[in-house]
Structure 1
Amino acid sequence: MTGERELIEPKDFPSTFLKGDYEQVYSQMSKAFQDEVTLKQLRELGDDFNQDVISYKLQSELPYSNGVRQYAWTDDSGSKGMVAVFDEADVIQGLQIMPLTNYPETDEVYTKTVMDLPFHDTWFVLWGGTNSLVNYHYDYENQRYAYDFVIMNEHSTYDGDPELNESYYAFGKEYLAPAAGTVVKVENRVKDNKPVGKMNEKQPLGNYVILDHGNNEFSYLAHFKYESVLVKEGDQVDQGKVLGQVGNSGNSSEPHIHFHVADSPDFMKSKSINSTFDREDTWIQGDFVEK
């Protein structure tokens, strides 16, 4: 139809937003968004947010079912972040812009222990990276450099009833030691969350294994399946040792692997350390990682 605007493709969204074409952005927003935010408000927010920004860089792309995709960008300084959700028709269902806090003094400090991935085969990075757009853990000093891994197949982490743990590809998979060490803490008696989506905030790690690798470096592996942990405190384990099975215990929204390293076996008082892995590749949210 003559005069009808062309839709902004996700790859062009940040440049369109940065040059101030808010009418184009707004016209592509869902009605629900337009009911909450006026064009004038979007323009005011955008003009303020875009100040001093040279460009936005894509950080991650998350696919969801039904063709929905989430994109995250940061500015060149890493101090501003933007997330947009597009549906299968490229209607923008959500937009979030926010300042980002950075911790460069610890981002470049890595473990002396060289870690391997705590799983077999190919997994998907659900959360990981050094900003809170791609890694919600980043705002918390005790798990700032944590990773959450799931198994993704055809843009989904499950097949069947989404309320059942057994429907998730990750549930029951082998959970491996990322490096040799001594088992210093174990929990094995926390029930898996049922239905999936119900979370246990009182026991955030759920079933877990904490390994001492020396050098004040302790790896945390959390959310094991109920009564699946195969090691006990004091055990010496080699890298790649099967520790148990992946589950959905603790503060977990679905079956997945949670892994991070910290400077103490005291979860609440420790400080997270960025992990050195046995490969040159780095990855963040949205990446597939193959062992």
Structure 2
Amino acid sequence: MILAGEYERLYVQFSEDLKKMVKLEEFRSLGEEFTKDIDSFQLLSNMQVNGAESLVWNDISESKELTATVDAKGTIIGIQILPHEPHPETDDAYSKTLFNLPFGGEWLVYWGGKSRFVNYHYEYEQIRYAYDFLKEKNGYTYEGNPKLNDSYFAFNEEIYAPAEGVVVEAIDGILDNEPVGKMNEEQPAGNMVLIQHTNGEYSTIAHLKKGSVKVKTGDTVTTGQLIGLCGNSGNSSEPHIHFQVSSGTDENKLTTLPITFKDGLEPIRGDIVSGTINKQ
């Protein structure tokens, strides 16, 4: 619709809150400037979860991106257009270690990929290629009271070592956030396990459940070994797993790496991925 200049038709679908943020003429002006050298958009990501649909498009040259969020009634509750700012110096610098997904069964990629609209981590060097995984059933990540951790399908799910290595840090004892939505910004990773692999690479699995961490610093772990349970500790808005690979451990100097997954997997936001790890 934007390429066709149908701004009024789109604008009437905006929520009242969104209309307060941007007036029709401002929306039209921004849209015309943004699309003046674009012939078409292609759908990059489509995620439907918890009553909302989030869509991301980019142009053929992958230089510009558009995202929109629509609620269950078809009301547009969010829309944003931005140039795509890639990081060519690291976007293809994949890990030398081959990793498995750190879980079994089907999980939703909530954040993941190489652009800001599919992966909010992408703006920040220290977490640029990280993934956030949740579990969903029939389009929802929970059943029952959304304020309770036990209502979420990801909570208590077993989490495994994604590759063999040595545990260099294991944190346990941090409370899981409850009510869900309350976040612990002072201990952002929450309960976590940091594993050193070959080639000077490290994997981090964060937001584990309090009291569930099964390994300690110095332990040697094998691929598929149980390391803990999915929780909601740290800077986490709901039970999920944060997974990233880096070239070091110093928070001020580390560089995250695009993850080389088994079977060539390269998931992005909205994908459903299946963990095939053989637990030990």
TM over 0.5: yes
In the superposition, relative to structure 1, how do residues 143 and 35 fare at CA in structure 2: closer, same or farther (>3 Å)?
A: closer
Correspondence 1:56 to 2:41:
yes
Correspondence 1:190 to 2:174:
yes
- Cα distance in 2 for partners of 1:36, 1:251 equals 28
Count of residues in correspondence between the two structures: 275
CA apart distance, 1:91? 2.9
Aligned to 2:18: 33
Written as runs of structure 1 = structure 2, the 5 A alignment for 1:1-291 is 16-66=1-51, 68-291=52-275
Contact map agreement 2:50 2:141 (CA 8 A) in 1: no
CA apart distance, 1:21? 2.1
In the superposition, relative to structure 1, how do residues 196 and 89 fare at CA in structure 2: closer, same or farther (>3 Å)?
A: closer
CA apart distance, 1:39? 2.1
CA apart distance, 1:74? 1.7
- Cα distance in 1 for partners of 2:248, 2:179 equals 33
- Cα distance in 2 for partners of 1:113, 1:32 equals 46
SS at structure 2 position matched to 1:45:
helix
- Cα distance in 2 for partners of 1:156, 1:209 equals 28
Give every structure 1 segment of 4 or more consecutive aligned residues whose post-TM-superposition deviation is greater than 4 Å. none
- Cα distance in 1 for partners of 2:178, 2:72 equals 31
Per-residue CA deviations over 1:30-67 (Å, capped at 9, x if unaligned) read 3443344322111111111112223222121121334x
- TM-score, with structure 1 as normaliser: 0.90
SS at structure 2 position matched to 1:142:
helix
CA apart distance, 1:185? 0.9
Amino acid aligned to 1:63? Q
Amino acid aligned to 1:28? Q
- Cα distance in 2 for partners of 1:236, 1:129 equals 30
Quick check: 94-103 or 213-222, which moved more? 94-103
- Cα distance in 2 for partners of 1:21, 1:185 equals 54
Amino acid aligned to 1:49? F
Contact map agreement 1:184 1:265 (CA 8 A) in 2: no
Per-residue CA deviations over 1:86-110 (Å, capped at 9, x if unaligned) read 2334332321112232112211111
Calculate the aligned-residue CA RMSD, in Å.
1.5
Amino acid aligned to 2:38? V
- Cα distance in 2 for partners of 1:169, 1:94 equals 26
Contact map agreement 2:49 2:141 (CA 8 A) in 1: no
Amino acid aligned to 1:242? L
In the superposition, relative to structure 1, how do residues 216 and 168 fare at CA in structure 2: closer, same or farther (>3 Å)?
A: same
SS at structure 2 position matched to 1:29:
coil
- Cα distance in 1 for partners of 2:99, 2:124 equals 22
- Cα distance in 2 for partners of 1:31, 1:194 equals 31
Quick check: 159-168 or 83-92, which moved more? 83-92
SS at structure 1 position matched to 2:11:
helix
- Cα distance in 2 for partners of 1:283, 1:136 equals 15
Larger radius of gyration: 1
CA apart distance, 1:151? 0.4
- Cα distance in 1 for partners of 2:72, 2:120 equals 26
Runs (5+) with no aligned partner, structure 1: 1-15
Amino acid aligned to 1:21? E
SS at structure 1 position matched to 2:170:
strand
- TM-score, with structure 2 as normaliser: 0.93
Amino acid aligned to 2:27? L
- Cα distance in 2 for partners of 1:168, 1:88 equals 20
Runs (5+) with no aligned partner, structure 2: 276-280
